[in-house]
Amino acid sequence: MASPQELAGRICSQFGDLVSSPSEFRGEFALTVSDAGRIVEVCRYAKDACGFDLLLDLSTVDNYGGDPRWTVVYELYSVGSGCHLRLKTHVGEEQSEVPSVSTVWPAANWHEREAYDMMGVRFSGHPDLRRILMWEGYPYFPLRKDFPLAGKPTDLPEVAFTRPAPLEGGPFVTAPGGRDSTQREPRARTPQP
């Protein structure tokens, strides 16, 4: 049975300069695909020739202030060999489009919709690329680093808050201590009118 390092090496051999040498961190291996337009080709090979039959997750990283702006990350897993591999590709703000891998792994459908909805990265060839969490017509992408933690007001009354919600320190920042989690939650510390 092949190891993750051997499978990553097989992908590198197949694609040459298109794919970086494997980087290893804590026993996990990652490959970077230099041309985002060819990510489907690499993913198809990873599935068909290397046995990565499961797309565990697809996420995006906002490299705000850097170029390229986003990194799209594909977490692959082989059920047969128990191997995990991470593929990455970069996409710039001007392009902000990556081919959809939903033809390789149908599970990518909702992952790509969420990445589009929250970060604004578009997936060409996606069968139904529309928002999955925010409502259609919402003009912002809430997980971008330039989106304010306090939120933005909306002009759509009765659809969502009409004023920013107070999130003192951000939605996932809690205070240490306290008797229970309700005292550590950010809104609990903000005096309510």
Summarised one tens digit per residue, pLDDT across range 32-70 is 999 999 999 999 999 999 999 999 999 999 999 999 999
Q: What angle do CA 26, 30, 32 make, to 5 degrees?
A: 150
pLDDT at 168: 46
pLDDT at 163: 56
pLDDT at 136: 84
Where are the domains positioned within the chain? 4-141, 148-187
**Region 110-122 average pLDDT:** 96
**Region 95-120 average pLDDT:** 95
**CATH assignment of 4-141?**
3.30.460.80
Q: Quick count: other Cβ atoms within 10 Å of Cβ 37? A: 14
Interior/surface letters 121-160, b for 16+ CB within 10 angstroms, e for the rest: bbbeebeebeebeeeeebeebbeeeebeeebeebeeeeee
The more confident residue out of 149 and 89 is 89
- The model's pTM is 0.79
Task: Identify the top-confidence range among 91-95, 109-113, 175-179.
Answer: 109-113
